[in-house]
Amino acid sequence: MERWETTTGAPEETRELGKLLGEFAAAGLVVLLNGDLGAGKTCFAQGVASGLGVSSASPVTSPSYTLLNIHSGRLPLYHFDLYRLSQVDDLADLGYDEFAEGDGLTLVEWADRMTDALAASVDVFIEHLTEQHRKLCFVALDDRGRDLLAQLAGTAQIGDEPA
Ligand code: ADP
Ligand code: MG
């Protein structure tokens, strides 16, 4: 599946989708999260963490000054937030490639700031519809992404119809 779109009507539903992705994910998966401030990127990332079995003692937050937070779960979760990053070189300095090609699941908030530099399997575009509704559009970027989207679309109980 190349592309899958759904609508959520509450933060819990967005977390639930993230959780499914976290449950399906295999090592080396890279997912880019795009959307404005308050779209729900971190909310989705929290769900992914729960799907990976990350402990609530290691909560996923929007790190305003931290570019990378690592959480341990079934696979390590590498949670990048590029809001404050302006140069692709700075990302290389962080060791991005080693994380992305490594043993964990990499999530990148504000990936659209440097999208052409990042290799990934899935692009997620989150759009603000109403106060409680978000449109999530998943786009597969490689075979692994296509498989993941098929799994997500086949399993997700919510948002099968637009709000
Ligand atoms: P971002 O990381 O994209 O800046 P956050 O995940 O930190 O966004 O914030 C999203 C905000 O929107 C939260 O306050 C959340 O409670 C609220 N919200 C309302 N409805 C939804 C929804 N359907 N999905 C995700 N977040 C939602
Ligand atoms: Mg955030």
The pLDDT of 65-81, averaged and rounded, is: 93
Q: Is 87 or 150 the better-scoring residue by pLDDT?
A: 150
Q: What is the pLDDT of residue 66?
A: 83
CA of 124 to the centre of ligand 1 (A): 14
Q: Residue 62: nearest ligand to its CA?
A: 2
Ligand 1, closest atom to CA 40? 6
**Residue nearest atom 14 of ligand 1, based on CA coordinates:** 38
Ranking 80-84, 90-94, 118-122, 131-135 by mean pLDDT, the lowest is 90-94
Contacts 24+ apart (CB under 8 A), 66-73: 67/94, 68/94, 68/99, 73/22, 73/49
* Model confidence at 13: pLDDT above 50: yes
Question: Angle formed by the axes of helices 11-24 and 41-51, to 10°?
Answer: 40
Ranking 23-37, 62-76, 97-111 by mean pLDDT, the lowest is 62-76
For residues 10 and 54, what is the distance between their CA atoms, to the nearest angstrom? Answer: 22
pTM, to two decimals = 0.94
**Residue nearest atom 15 of ligand 1, based on CA coordinates:** 11
The pLDDT of 102-111, averaged and rounded, is: 94
CA of 114 to the centre of ligand 1 (A): 22
